[in-house]
């Protein structure tokens, strides 16, 4: 397929950026992933949250802010639309009255997508969504390495007696055999806890835990070099909770924690995934009601574009 035959974002000179249909990057909306290399998929959900709701509106606002994005990455030289066929498949219809049914719907939706040789990029939605995604991903690729950026480890055994919620995602994923534990890294963990041992369960599984304090005041390029070595050539999933970033940059989220990563460090992490065998990504926990400026969703849209730019097969032009 030639560049001319591949989908391209609608440019600001063809349609004003405040006009047109607000798909991700104003790409075509499709009904099936057939023929695609990568696909954006919305995951509107917030009934798994433990504090502030609103992430059900995350996918829509990320798409709204993505109208500012252009097809060429000036920082890295990545030209994803020159080499990949990309589209927006819309949202998976979650059930606003039933979390477990929503989880089942997301897994079924991803299994349907993954009938094709496509890499899904999810727009969240609270972090509960990553569990059903990983179930579908592992069914196709086997246990995957995980790069998890977050203020929280999300390894609770239960929340209010419930085994599935946005804070239990990666304990369930590990228990279900969805993760290759020796290839899991959690970056940006911080804040107060209920016990001094709150992050120790992850370490006992073999996860690498990188607290926010280890990231303060320096570039994360060296860390990502180590992460690439750890991940090797096996399949890798990238899950990026926007609250991994300091609320000075991303206030629109449900469980903000001070002293987090900067937006520059966030880009370093995603760009540091270049060369990995990424089989899926997500950007979750954007809650637009808590950020009237739109900056959190704007950052989320940019991070999703950066994820697209590091997928296997993307051409680099300098």
Summarised one tens digit per residue, pLDDT across range 126-183 is: 999 999 999 999 999 999 999 999 999 999 999 999 999 999 999 999 999 999 999 9
pLDDT grade for 318, boundaries at 50, 70 and 90: confident
pLDDT grade for 197, boundaries at 50, 70 and 90: confident
CB 26 within 8 A of CB 15: yes
**Residue 287 vs residues 79, 166, 222: alpha-carbon distances, Å:** 29, 14, 31
Per-residue model confidence as pLDDT tens digits over 251-272: 999 999 999 999 999 999 999 9
CA-based torsion, 31, 241, 146, 313: positive or negative:
positive
Beta bridge partners of 284: 241
What's the Rg (C-alpha) of the chain? 18
Annotated binding site: 127, 150, 152, 154, 241, 243
Beta-sheet strands, E only, within 92-178? 119-124, 144-149
Average pLDDT over residues 67-96: 97
Annotated binding site for Mn(2+): 127, 150, 152, 154, 241, 243
CB 212 within 8 A of CB 261: yes
CB 298 within 8 A of CB 245: no
**Residue 49 vs residues 10, 29, 94, 234: alpha-carbon distances, Å:** 34, 29, 15, 31
- For residue 1, what pLDDT is reported? 74
> What residues have CB less than 8 Å from 14, skipping those under 6 apart?
none
pLDDT grade for 2, boundaries at 50, 70 and 90: confident
- pLDDT for residue 91 is more than 90: yes
- Tell me yes or no: is domain 33-316 CATH 3.40.800.10: yes
Place of tokens 């798409």: 63
Cis amide prior to 125 (ω within 30 degrees): yes
pTM, entire model: 0.97
Beta carbons within 10 angstroms of residue 126's beta carbon: 32
Give domain limits for the chain: 33-316
CB 141 within 8 A of CB 166: no
- Average pLDDT, rounded, for the chain: 96
φ/ψ of 244, rounded to 5, equals: -65, -25
φ/ψ of 59, rounded to 5, equals: -60, -40
CB 288 within 8 A of CB 296: yes
């Amino acid at each position: 397929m030639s560049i001319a035959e591949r989908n391209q974002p609608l440019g600001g000179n063809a349609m004003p950026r405040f006009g047109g249909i607000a798909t991700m990057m104003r790409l075509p909306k499709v009904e099936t992933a057939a023929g695609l290399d990568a696909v954006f998929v919305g995951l509107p959900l917030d009934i798994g949250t433990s504090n502030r709701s609103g992430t059900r509106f995350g996918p829509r606002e990320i798409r709204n802010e993505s109208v500012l994005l252009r097809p060429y990455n000036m920082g890295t030289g990545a030209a994803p639309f020159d080499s990949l066929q990309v589209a927006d498949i819309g949202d998976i219809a979650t059930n606003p009255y039933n979390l477990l049914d929503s989880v089942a719907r997301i897994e079924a939706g991803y299994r349907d997508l993954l009938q094709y040789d496509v890499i899904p990029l999810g727009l969240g939605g609270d972090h509960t969504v990553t569990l059903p995604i990983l179930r579908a991903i592992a069914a196709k690729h086997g246990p995957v390495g995980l790069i998890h950026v977050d203020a929280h480890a999300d390894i609770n055994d239960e929340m209010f007696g419930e085994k599935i919620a946005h804070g239990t995602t990666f304990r369930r994923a590990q228990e279900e055999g969805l993760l290759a534990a020796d290839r899991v890294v959690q970056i940006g963990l911080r804040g107060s806890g209920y016990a001094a041992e709150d992050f120790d369960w992850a370490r006992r599984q073999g996860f690498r835990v990188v607290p926010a304090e280890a990231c303060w005041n320096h570039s994360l390029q060296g860390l990502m070099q180590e992460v690439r070595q750890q991940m090797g050539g096996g399949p890798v999933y990238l899950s990026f909770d926007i609250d991994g970033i300091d609320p000075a940059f991303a206030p629109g989220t449900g469980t903000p924690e001070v002293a987090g990563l900067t937006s520059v460090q966030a880009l370093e992490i995603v760009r540091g995934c270049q060369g990995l065998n990424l089989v899926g990504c997500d950007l979750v926990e954007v809650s637009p009601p808590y950020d009237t400026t739109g900056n959190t969703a704007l950052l989320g849209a940019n991070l999703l574009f950066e994820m697209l730019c590091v997928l296997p097969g993307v051409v680099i032009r300098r």
